[in-house]
Structure 1
């Protein structure tokens, strides 16, 4: 689990640095995760990186039922789940306070980091979907959460992506199941992540190459 922990910490630390640089006007910008503004997207991401604190405080399920890839199954992201997530991001961002968002995000991810460090490596936790997962597998989903929403935030702010190499490696490995991308695509990790999560359109030839390779595309609710 150490590479995943390192990736989570590196990506969250970089995300926090960006938050400290924002202006009040930045928080009201629209994002590619409608209807969220930048402030609401940050609030949603803060909630996501902080989930493990309460999960680890709860009783452990007897055994794991799903892995990180299964967590991003299409059946999980129903209209009801999406509506609840959207409303949660909007609710948690009110009142929008730039300094508070940065401080609370930093507090949330560091609390998660401490809780994970204190837990047994084989600990099982229960997700908000009701599934039981090994701690390391759920932590991989948190790297996806902060890394991919970091791409969304960068796009909304007109900045170059800041995805850290450790996080890019964890996310790419999850998206591909550890397999190399299809020959001929020429995708680097950033391009792979953008394409696979719907942040950049996949062309018809690219889709054909992906399908021929038997890639399993994960479902991502915004």
Structure 2
């Protein structure tokens, strides 16, 4: 996928998330989310940490070649086992209390990362914390996944309409569908973009007809922590 499209999606989705939660009353941050046991502020902290990992990766030595793509990053191995999930939960809860302005911290993080990403060549290779050598662009697709999927979780927790952007949706639909484009799948099932993402990530159940259609579309099921 073109680096420019991924960068546009990252910026658009992060901007939309920040705008949607700006000025959120203090009491709303304590709302429970479907990503148990995280509250809304802890889930935002997880997203900030996930996006911010890029800085350390770019500071490390560059691997010789990429060996893992964005789909491969979500393979079901120890990165999503009970121990890894427990560590992921604890880190988000610990970092959620680091600052008095969670929206501002999120904004500063994603803007710094977007600027670094924009300045790198499309051939730049990085190594993830799990040891995967990946093109930076492929890794940034996974950051768009984090932003978009957890934005749905936050919107649902806060009782708000989804703010999923077209740019992020385009990136995710290309990642998730191998035999059909997102527009045709959505038209066949009468879904909007947010519904497709919810269904494709297990956030909403599929009925029998929907299962048939997404199977025809070659759905890629990602392992998500």
With normalisation by structure 1, the TM-score equals 0.92
Deviation of the 1:209 alpha carbon:
3.5
Aligned to 1:204: 208
For residues 178 and 23 of structure 1, the distance between their equivalents in structure 2, rounded to whole angstroms, comes to 44
1:7 corresponds to which residue?
A: 9
After TM superposition, give the deviation of residue 177 of structure 1 in Å: 3.3
Per-residue deviation at 1:95?
5.2
Kindly provide the CA deviation profile for residues 119-176 of structure 1, in whole angstroms up to 9, marking residues without a partner as x. Answer: 1210001112110100110111111111111110000000000011111111111111
1:60-209 matched pairs, under 5 angstroms? 60-75=62-77, 76-94=79-97, 97=100, 100-177=101-178, 179-180=180-181, 184-209=188-213
Root-mean-square deviation (CA, aligned residues, Å) is: 1.7
Identify the residue that residue 51 of structure 2 maps to in structure 1. 49
Partner of 2:25 in structure 1?
A: 23
Task: Provide structure 2 residue ranges, at least 5 long, that are not aligned to the other structure.
Answer: none
Residues in 1 aligned to 2:35 and 2:159: alpha-carbon distance in whole angstroms: 15
Distance 1:40 1:123, change over 3 A: same
* Structure 1 stretch displaced more, 51-60 or 179-188: 179-188
- Unaligned residue ranges in structure 1 (runs of 5+): none
CA distance in 2, matches of 1:62, 1:178: 32
- Offset from partner CA, 1:50-93 (integer Å, 9 cap, x none): 11111111111111111001111122422222111111111111
